[in-house]
């Protein structure tokens, strides 16, 4: 005589939750099926009929019933499992990190995934997984520049003070030039690559049609850009650009100009004496990154020059002037977020970063 299944006692709350699970379209299917099995069991359907309906063994239905009787709704969920034992443990991690401190073989300038795997006689995929987990990106690089200016602290504090706490009744502008902008003529368009993606494309060969210089000034408070395209970047061109800027600014206000140490920016004492409301502030040596106009030059390069083609300098000039006009339609000031302005954050070994 076959065994009789244990009867299921179900509260109204449990029944409501079972119906919710059984009708869900987002939960995993096995949880939905288990809820349906319990609901059918409550209706008195036999285990063999339920098993036939779901295409599973009768013992499986019995086990699901027992799990619900013992633990309620929680019994329908799977318990956490330990998973497959780790093949690559902490010792493997330490070996990879230690290897990165050593000199790569065979004349290589740096380690990469396959080279590490070959050296440790292990899987390349295991190496890449570990590097990803540790946040180590061997192909990405950052350059650094340490200022040797003995007055670095005083000069940088002066510049940052103008950004964060400018003088009252004053205008702060950041000025520099981008020289030798080439008018490169080359074919551009779109291509479909092997994986089916459509990408921007430009021909590798090009014609040179001369160069232009761009003087640019960033008004720190508003983010507005003043620009002037010239053929030369000599001291008279620089002074003329500054004069044109201050002509457009309120004459009763002080004008503080942030500059790097390029030769045309220096030895302008005679001009400054004639304009007592204008003050030049120089960034420390090898610290032009303190000049915010460099941020805008990066944006300008990506938006206007990278991958572009110009048949002559006239079209290059038009593109530069058009972009400045477009940018000034909705300018936004840059917010100074540098964490520190002294020394370098360079670490000499992976060990200092990962342990």
Is the Cβ–Cβ distance between 157 and 178 less than 8 Å? no
- Same-domain status, 101 and 157: no
- What is the predicted pLDDT for the residue at 226? 93
- Same-domain status, 169 and 302: yes
| Alpha-carbon gap, residue 15 to 84, rounded angstroms | 36
CATH no. for residue 322?
A: 3.30.420.10
- Same-domain status, 186 and 45: no
Torsion of CA 131, 133, 134, 140, to 10 degrees: 50
What mean pLDDT do residues 145-153 have? 82
pLDDT of residue 290 exceeding 80, the answer is: yes
When divided into structural domains, the chain yields a total of 3
Which pLDDT band, with edges at 50, 70 and 90, does 1 fall under? very low
For 269, what's the count of Cα atoms within 13 Å in the CB-facing half-sphere?
Answer: 1
| Alpha-carbon gap, residue 226 to 218, rounded angstroms | 7
Torsion of CA 216, 221, 222, 223, to 10 degrees: 40
- What is the predicted pLDDT for the residue at 343? 46
- Same-domain status, 304 and 207: yes
Please calculate the CA angle 127-128-133 and round it to the nearest 5 degrees. Answer: 100
| Alpha-carbon gap, residue 204 to 187, rounded angstroms | 9
| Alpha-carbon gap, residue 192 to 351, rounded angstroms | 43
Neighbouring residues of 228: CB distance < 8 A, sequence distance ≥ 6:
214, 215, 216, 241, 244
- Same-domain status, 167 and 304: yes
336 to 185, 220, 258: CA distances (angstroms):
37, 10, 14
The percent of residues in the chain predicted with pLDDT above 70, rounded, is 92
**pLDDT tens column, 254-287:** 899 999 988 889 888 888 998 888 899 999 988 8
Which pLDDT band, with edges at 50, 70 and 90, does 298 fall under? very high
- Same-domain status, 316 and 190: yes
Is the Cβ–Cβ distance between 103 and 73 less than 8 Å? no
DSSP 150: T
- Same-domain status, 204 and 171: yes
Give a yes or no: residue 226 inside a domain. yes
**pLDDT tens column, 4-19:** 666 788 888 988 998 9
Is the Cβ–Cβ distance between 32 and 21 less than 8 Å? yes
The percent of residues in the chain predicted with pLDDT above 90, rounded, is 29
Q: Which range of residues forms the domain containing residue 59?
A: 12-76
Is the Cβ–Cβ distance between 13 and 30 less than 8 Å? no
| Alpha-carbon gap, residue 40 to 15, rounded angstroms | 11
- Same-domain status, 194 and 242: yes
DSSP 345: -
- Same-domain status, 317 and 196: yes
For residues 64 and 141, the model is more confident at 64
For 166, what's the count of Cα atoms within 13 Å in the CB-facing half-sphere?
Answer: 21
| Alpha-carbon gap, residue 211 to 15, rounded angstroms | 78
pLDDT of residue 81 exceeding 60, the answer is: yes
**pLDDT tens column, 205-240:** 888 988 999 999 999 989 999 999 999 888 999 999
- Same-domain status, 130 and 59: no
Give a yes or no: residue 299 inside a domain. yes
Of 346, 246, 289, the residue nearest 160 (C-alpha): 289
Residue 192 main-chain phi, psi, to 5 deg: -100, 120
Average pLDDT, the chain: 86
């Amino acid at each position: 005589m076959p065994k009789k299944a244990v009867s299921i006692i179900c509260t109204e709350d449990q029944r409501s939750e079972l119906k919710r699970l059984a009708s869900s379209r987002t939960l995993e299917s096995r949880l939905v099926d288990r809820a349906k099995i319990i609901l059918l069991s409550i209706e008195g359907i036999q285990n063999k009929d339920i098993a036939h309906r779901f295409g599973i063994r009768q013992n499986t239905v019995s086990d699901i019933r027992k799990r619900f009787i013992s633990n309620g709704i929680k019994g329908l969920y799977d318990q956490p499992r330990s998973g497959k034992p780790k093949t690559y443990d902490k010792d493997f991690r330490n070996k990879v990190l230690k290897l990165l401190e050593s000199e790569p073989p065979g004349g290589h300038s740096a380690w990469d995934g396959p080279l590490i795997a070959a050296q440790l006689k292990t899987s390349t995929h295991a190496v890449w997984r570990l590097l990803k987990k540790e946040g180590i990106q061997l192909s990405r690089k950052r350059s650094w520049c340490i200022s040797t200016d003995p007055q670095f602290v005083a000069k940088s504090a002066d510049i940052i003070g103008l950004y964060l706490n400018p003088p009252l009744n004053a205008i702060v502008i950041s000025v520099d030039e981008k020289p030798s902008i080439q008018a490169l003529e080359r074919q551009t368009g779109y291509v479909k690559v092997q994986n089916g993606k459509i990408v921007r494309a430009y021909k590798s060969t090009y014609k040179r049609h001369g160069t232009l210089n761009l003087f640019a000034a960033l008004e720190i408070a508003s983010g507005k850009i003043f620009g002037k395209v010239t053929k030369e970047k000599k001291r008279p061109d620089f002074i003329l650009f500054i004069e044109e800027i201050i002509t457009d600014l309120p004459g009763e206000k002080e004008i503080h100009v942030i500059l790097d140490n390029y030769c045309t920016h220096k030895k302008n004492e005679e001009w400054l004496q004639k304009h007592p409301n204008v003050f030049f502030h120089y960034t420390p040596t090898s610290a032009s990154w303190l000049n915010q106009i460099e941020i805008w030059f990066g944006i300008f390069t990506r938006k206007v020059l990278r991958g572009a083609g110009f048949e002559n300098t006239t079209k290059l000039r038009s593109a530069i002037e058009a972009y400045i006009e477009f940018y000034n339609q909705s300018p936004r000031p840059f917010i100074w977020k540098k964490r520190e302005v002294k020394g370098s954050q360079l670490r000499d070994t992976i060990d200092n970063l990962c342990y």
